[in-house]
Amino acid sequence: MAYKAQYYPGATSVAANRRKHMSGDLEKLREISDEDLTACLGHRAAGSDYPSTHPPLAEMGEPACSVREAVEATPGAKAGDRVRYVQFADSMYNAPATPYFRSYHAAINYRGVDPGTLSGRQVVEARERDMEEVAKEQLETEMTCPGLSGLRGCTVHGHSCRLQEDGVMFDMLDRRRLVNGTIIQDKDQVGVPIDRKVDLGKPMSEAEAAKRTTFYRVDNVAFKDDKEVVEWVHRVWELRTRYGFQPKN
């Protein structure tokens, strides 16, 4: 029988969503063109070639190495792309993803990525075209609600603020806003204006966000209601405490 990865315990909708994010079994909700994504990321001009930091690996004449032979380089590494980042902030008011689950998604489903998890934001560093692949999947699928999540390279403030009157997460740099029912972004992730208005799609309704979120909240699905998760969290805490207990005698 083939092994099937289990990813995350629990019987609630939040646990099921966490499993979806980790496994990469995600529903695609919107379409964002490559040029729009490049403009929003702001690392290079939309439509331009990827700048490189070294010649393509095929031209470099790599030394004989069993690891290099066993592990195929990612497309970005093969082409010699620069390392660039994408950073997201997700509102605590039932945004679909949490920083940890964005990291799990990137680390489990992609090679050559370096996810960084912080309390209110999550960054993925990788070769430029590899990073764009991760960013595109996260933006186009149920991992992101354009109203409750945002591409934020700096000034990420907003994830723990109350929502605005229109239900959109506060953004100090006003990179994107609700216009006629859809979220329009006209600045890149560090707040520099771009030459286009990128349509990021319709924000989720409150009910849909509550259904798709990976946040445990007492006003939606409470953490303590997920008995299996609580049991496993207790088990992990107990085992790591025992592991850390090393009397020097």
Partner 1 sequence: MREIIPNKDGRIQVEIFPSRLLNAETAEILLTELNKVEGISRAMIQGPRLPRKVYAGPGTGEDVRHTARKVVQIADTAIELSISVGRIRLDIADADVKEEIRAVCEKILPFPFEYRTGHFFHSKATVSDYAKHGPNANPSMLGMMDPKANVEDQVCILGAQKSD
Binding site for partner 1 (CB under 8 A): 153-155, 157-158, 161-167, 170, 172-174, 177, 188, 190-193
Surface-to-core class of residue 244, CB atoms within 10 Å of its CB (0-12 exposed, 13-18 middle, 19+ buried): exposed
Residues ≥6 apart with Cβ < 8 Å to 95: 145, 148, 149, 159, 169, 209, 213, 215
For residues 162 and 240, which CB has a smaller minimum distance to partner 1 in the complex?
162
Q: Please state the closest distance from residue 6 (CB atom) to partner 1, in A.
A: 38
Q: Cα 136 to the chain's mean position, in Å? A: 10
- Residue 46 main-chain phi, psi, to 5 deg: -60, 130
Q: Which two tokens stand for residue 144?
A: 């992101």
DSSP state of 225: G
**Cβ 71 to partner 1 shortest distance, Å:** 33
**Minimum distance, C-beta of residue 197 to partner 1, in the bound complex (Å):** 13
CA distances in angstroms from 213 to 18, 80, 196, 219, listed in the order given: 8, 37, 30, 12
Contact 148, 93 (CB under 8 A): yes
Whichever of 166 and 195 has its CB closer to partner 1, that residue is 166
Nearer to partner 1 (CB atom), residue 204 or residue 229: 204
Output 159 or 212, the one with its CB closest to partner 1. Answer: 159
Q: Give the span between the Cα atoms of 215 and 138, in whole angstroms.
A: 17
Beta carbon of residue 125, minimum distance to partner 1 (angstroms, whole number): 15
Nearest approach, Cβ of 69 to partner 1 (angstroms)? 39
The CA-based angle 220-226-231, given to 5 degrees, is: 150
When the beta carbons of 117 and 164 are compared against partner 1, the nearer one is 164
Shortest distance, position 86 Cβ to partner 1, whole Å: 14
Q: Which amino acid, one-letter code, is at 87?
A: Q
Nearer to partner 1, 170 or 232 (CB): 170
Q: How far is the CB of 168 from partner 1 (least distance, A)?
A: 10
CA distance 117 to 101: 9
Which CB sits closer to partner 1, 58 or 192? 192
**Gyration radius from the chain CA atoms:** 20
- What CA–CA distance (Å, rounded) separates 23 from 25? 5
